[in-house]
Amino acid sequence: MIGQVGQALAEVSWAKLSAPAKEKLKHCVIANFSVSVAGLPYARLPEPAASRDGHLLFSGRRTANARDAAFWNAAVMLARTQDEFHPIGNLHAATVMIPAAMAAAEVAGASGPCFLDALAAGYTAAAGLSRAFSPKTTPKGLRSSGLYAPFGAVASAGRIAGLDAAGLGNAVALAASIAGGFTQCWVDGSDEWQLHVAQAAANGLLAVDLTRAGVRGGEHALDGKAGFYHAHAGVMPKFADIVMDFDADHAVLDTVIKRYPVSGICQPIVRLSERIAAKHRLKSEDIERVTVWMNPYEMRYPGTLNKGPFRSFSDVLMSAAFCCASVLACGRFEFRDLFDPRNAARDRLIGVTEVREDAALPTLSCRIEVQPKRGNRIAQTLMHGGGALAIDATSIDAWALELWQEGGRSEAEFRAFRAAVDALERTSARLLLDSLPQTAVAELAVT
């Protein structure tokens, strides 16, 4: 299986993507870099030691070690939890593979087309190796972003490093032994959720470096009796079982760019709550009870049913009751409310909100029923996101610019970055990275 995975990843290219997938991939680049610009204040992991040159950090400084850069940049990209996610694989692929690809591109002096090829391969690896198995591993408490996203980092960094099909397969085999992470953090309100993606990005680079140094991974590291899938999911698949999941177009197009900085599962709940709040303009004290109906798989994801007490941003952002109640109490989504421990109107609504399962609801869907103290029950449904969640060509620029401005950056800085993304297939990865906010050497010397 390892050899077949490596061959599949070696054949992925930007040129082979459909026009919609190419557009979506560029939107994903814009989105993930933009949430990183706005995410700096929320990173929980310490920034690596700065150096005069080396690898770019989202703080604008540089650090000497590539894996340190990938580690911290991944944590920053996830820090607002507004990075994109893959709803079927249930993971944050780009959050892991883009920081790894950034560091690898700086080492290799990669061209823009090479960088785009690498990202396409990364999406394909992460989706292809998770899609069929995340529904089996997630209920065990294994976090897909830590378990499967390292394969995306391997594919991206490995392609930039020039690994052939055998090398890519070998790096995947090595990454299988250093992948992991648990979802208990969403229940405990602890910080491992940033550590998972940080370590996954660094480990992707490590697996590539080890491969280039001649370290050999097992040919049955994935499908063996004592291999990755049997250990984690209790199955021993053949590549033929998942070959259709290695569709690069689908891997890119299936990703969801988060409109809101909450869990992917809670995106439709926030969107539908905003619609109800805008249409009915209910005061929180006039609401008797609220019922949120969800897809059973999503509802059972750790933290979704949490109703408090809440200890941090990491348990709030996962809570369906909190997300719904916050919007209804504030009249719209307010990011600052996720950090407010004392909102009496919101907290009362959390207490009267019940979350139930409805097997007829697909993923990224929900139904919300609000019973006022006086008047008729309000019931609305959002199916498959209903188009309401999409960040696309009509909205990407305004949405991303708002993030840059929230991060203290100007419209001119955003426009320069946006132009670099548009030109990526004709220029170099370095020009893209140079368009990001950076700290001057003179400023570093003063501080």
* Domain chopping of the chain, boundaries: 2-253, 264-386
- Whether pLDDT at 92 is above 60: yes
| Percentage with pLDDT > 70 across the chain | 98
User: Model-level pTM?
Assistant: 0.94
Cα–chain center distance at 418:
20
Q: Report the range of poorest mean pLDDT among 136-150, 250-264, 377-391.
A: 377-391
Q: Which fold has domain 264-386?
A: 60s Ribosomal Protein L30; Chain: A; (3.30.1330)
pLDDT of residue 388: 82
pLDDT of residue 90: 87
pLDDT of residue 328: 97
| Percentage with pLDDT > 90 across the chain | 94
CATH superfamily of 2-253: 2-methylcitrate dehydratase PrpD (1.10.4100.10)
Write down the residue that tokens 């001057």 correspond to.
440
pLDDT of residue 286: 94
What is the C-alpha to C-alpha distance for residues 96 and 202, in angstroms, rounded to an integer? 8
pLDDT of residue 88: 85
Query: Could you tell me which residue, 387 or 208, shows the higher pLDDT?
Result: 208
Mean pLDDT of the region 105-116:
97
- pLDDT tens string 20-35: 999 999 999 999 999 9
Work out the pLDDT band at 97, boundaries 50, 70, 90.
very high
Work out the pLDDT band at 398, boundaries 50, 70, 90.
very high
pLDDT of residue 83: 92
Where does residue 446 rank: exposed (0-12), middle (13-18), buried (19+ CB within 10 A)? exposed
